[in-house]
Structure 1
Amino acid sequence: MDYYDLIIVGAGPAGSTLAHSLQGSGKKILMIDKQSFPRDKTCAGWVTPAVMNSLEIDLADYSNNRTLQPIRRFRIGMMGQPAVENNHDEVVSYGIRRCEFDDYLLSRVDAPKALATAVKSIDRENGNWVINHTWQAPLIVGAGGHFCPVARLLGEGPGGHETVVAAKEVEFEMTPAQAEVCAARGDTPELWFCRDLKGYAWVFRKGNFLNIGLGREDNHKLSGHLEQFVEEMKASGRIPPDLPGRFKGHAYLLYNHAERPLVDEGVMLIGDSAGLAYTQSGEGIRPAIESALIAARVIREAGDNSAQALQAYGEAIAERFGTRATDADQGWQVPEWVKAPLASTLMRSHWFTRRVVTEKWFLHQQVPPLELAV
């Protein structure tokens, strides 16, 4: 049986960032992921300059043979009424393809990797965690998304008791004919809010790739809302009339609705496995990256792997992202004061759609860059 100081389950942005941040720490690390890389990961996929800076990514290097779509504008509207377009006069975000982005981050990690390997068992033996009866470590970190097997070790684990957001989306490379009739522009993602404010849809062009999707709190109505949205976008010429393949589904937890503990004896959760997606937008990449950087600092400084020593991570997350709300009636995306019929008027306002929806809810420009003491 192979021994490691740390095993990270999940090789997405959170797991890769944690492993990369711990390089040079002297810790022997193993990464496990059920998929091989590069993997097919459908995601609207935009990252702000703050994320790129936190990851210390050279934009010129990254854009070499990879999609990096500068974003300067947003079209925002409520379904059934005209959209408002705002020009931010500078690059406020970048569109990326997750299959490329995740593979790039993983390629920077020197640690051993067990890819295309499902976690079938996690057992506790003599103070260590043993995975698949093959690898053991005193500390394991769950970075495997909403259904991460490590999350099952904490609290009630993933299940029907959680209020999740379900989304369906598709991403494909357009043919020349499709690109010619697609009115959506690469530098202008489109966000369309459901009239009941329980979700929103998007149309996002990244170079010659097009991503279309919709996420809602009540997933039993998801397919119907998606079909209606797609038909409306086709009729208005925003997207091509012929879409290939089927829409893929996934689920995630919003920060204010998540109740999962973040740490326990020899266990930590980061990224979507911890339920850290921003409440107003559902975006998870920046919280994933920042939670991994915070976890790396705590792991470096912790004297041991006890729950007490690791609790510094939970405290740092609360300081960074705020204390989770306990009000079950809180809207998953928008505050109560934005409820209809006021929302219909607000979504036609250039000031509101720019300053509140885009800059605050989706770009989080009011949140300063993460600074970690050296």
Structure 2
Amino acid sequence: MQNCDVLIVGGGPAGSSCAWQLRRHGMDVMVMDKALFPRDKVCAGWVTPAVLEALQLDMAEYAGQHVLQPITAFRTGLIDGGNLETRYADTVSYGIRRYEFDDYLLRRSAARLLLGQGLNSLRRDGRFWIVNEAISTPMLVGAGGHFCPVARHMGAKLGADEPVIAAKEIEFRLNMAQSEDCRVQGNMPELYFCRDLKGYGWCFRKGSYLNIGLGREGSHHLSDHLAHFCNFLKQRGRIPQDIPDRFHGHAYLLYGHAVRSQIGDGVLLVGDAAGLAYPQSGEGIRPAVESGLMAAASILEAREDYREQQLRPYRDGLIARFGPTVTTEGMGPAFMRTLLGGVLLGNRWFTRHVVLDRWFLHSHQAAAQAA
């Protein structure tokens, strides 16, 4: 039987951020993930300077071997409609490849890694968790995304009472001909909202890679919406005609849409496992990183007393950071579901200061600080 101070199930940004913080304070941490890293991940793939600051990431070192595409502008609009270009004086975000980014953070965490191993069994033995009848730990962190097995153990009814956002995405290297045909600029991601404002598609160039995807409420006719979006991009001459068709799917919860139990005796959830994606944009990287750091802080403050009441500061911290868990509907406030929403998306002030600055960049929030 192996032992560790904390076992984290899931090696994405939430799990690796938590592991990194705990290891910096001398704890023996293991990270288990059913995938072998590096692995592909469905995600548009950009991070704000606040994320890099929270992670204390050395940008020069990272950019030396990985994609780190500066973003200084956005093109936004409605699918089949007009669009606006919004430009900034400075870099407001960075494009990353999750294939590289997640692997880098996981290796940097210095945790013991159990990759290619899923969580098959979980039981409580006194104050310890017994995982796969092979690992014993007093503290368990669920960081396995929307379908996290730890979340299921805590009572999450996946697909039953949780309205999810479903997304499909592809990221591929452009060949020479495709690169010449692609009019998307690396510094300017393109965001196009569905006419019913229940989701949006994106098109993002990162050096020699192109990322295309669409996410919206539920999975009903998702493939049809995606096909329509890709045809729209091709007709407008934004992307090459011969893009691959191997799109990958993903599902996640928006913060406030469904309330999962985020803490229990000796256990807590972080990132998508806790349902923390921003409700206006669906972005999950920043909430994942910040919740991972907050979870680590709560674990350290508990001083090995991991009863639920001792872990409540973590749940309180999530509410303080992301707001009360009041159920809402849709990506963005309800008023955006009217014709007014389409009109506002054509307004330069609203697009810049509300849609981009507030909903997508969260520039009004200071970066979280790692202890």
Q: Which band: TM-score by shorter chain?
A: over 0.9
Compute the displacement of 1:159 (Å).
Answer: 3.1
In structure 1, stretches of 5+ residues that fail to align are none
Who is 1:324 aligned against? 325
Who is 2:175 aligned against? 175
Compute the displacement of 1:157 (Å).
Answer: 3.9
Deviations 1:303-354 (A, max 9, x none): 401001011100111111110113xxx3321212223211221111111111
The answer on 1:306 being equivalent to 2:307 is yes
**RMSD of Structure 2 on Structure 1 (CA):** 1.2
Instruction: Please say which of residues 295-304 and 21-30 is displaced more in the overlay.
Output: 21-30
Q: Is the 8 A contact 1:170 1:212 kept in 2?
A: yes
Distance 1:176 1:167 in 2: 28
Distance 1:13 1:97 in 2: 13
Q: Is the 8 A contact 1:198 1:331 kept in 2?
A: no
Who is 1:351 aligned against? 349
Task: Show the 5 A alignment for 1:223-302.
Answer: 223-302=223-302
Task: Show the 5 A alignment for 1:128-139.
Answer: 128-139=128-139
Who is 2:195 aligned against? 195
Distance 2:8 2:26 in 1: 16
Q: Is the 8 A contact 1:69 1:94 kept in 2?
A: yes
Aligned residue type for 1:196? D
SS at match of 1:278: coil
Compute the displacement of 1:371 (Å).
Answer: 3.9
Compute the displacement of 1:245 (Å).
Answer: 3.7
SS at match of 2:306: coil
Structure 1 segments of 4 or more deviating over 6 A? none
Q: Is the 8 A contact 1:198 1:218 kept in 2?
A: no
Aligned residue type for 1:322? G
The answer on 1:4 being equivalent to 2:8 is no
Distance 1:93 1:99 in 2: 18
Q: Is the 8 A contact 2:143 2:273 kept in 1?
A: yes
Who is 1:97 aligned against? 97
Who is 1:114 aligned against? 114
Aligned residue type for 2:359? W
The answer on 1:77 being equivalent to 2:52 is no
Distance 2:83 2:329 in 1: 22
Who is 1:208 aligned against? 208
Distance 1:24 1:189 in 2: 35
Aligned residue type for 1:120? N
Who is 1:126 aligned against? 126
Deviations 1:42-63 (A, max 9, x none): 3210000000000001111000
Who is 1:365 aligned against? 363
TM-score normalised by length of structure 2: 0.97
Distance 1:253 1:337 in 2: 21
Q: Is the 8 A contact 1:298 1:312 kept in 2?
A: yes
In structure 2, stretches of 5+ residues that fail to align are none
Aligned residue type for 1:3? N
Instruction: Please say which of residues 124-133 and 276-285 is displaced more in the overlay.
Output: 124-133
Distance 2:151 2:112 in 1: 22
Distance 2:54 2:252 in 1: 23
Distance 2:361 2:318 in 1: 19
Q: Number of residues paired by the alignment?
A: 370
Instruction: Please say which of residues 120-129 and 203-212 is displaced more in the overlay.
Output: 120-129
Deviations 1:81-139 (A, max 9, x none): 11100101210000000010001101112221110111111111222111111001111
Q: Is the 8 A contact 1:151 1:158 kept in 2?
A: no
Given candidates 326, 337, 340, the residue that maps to 2:338 is 340
Aligned residue type for 2:329? G
Instruction: Please say which of residues 265-274 and 39-48 is displaced more in the overlay.
Output: 39-48
Aligned residue type for 1:87? R
SS at match of 1:107: helix
Q: Is the 8 A contact 2:21 2:296 kept in 1?
A: yes
Distance 2:16 2:234 in 1: 38
Q: Is the 8 A contact 2:166 2:251 kept in 1?
A: yes
SS at match of 1:169: strand
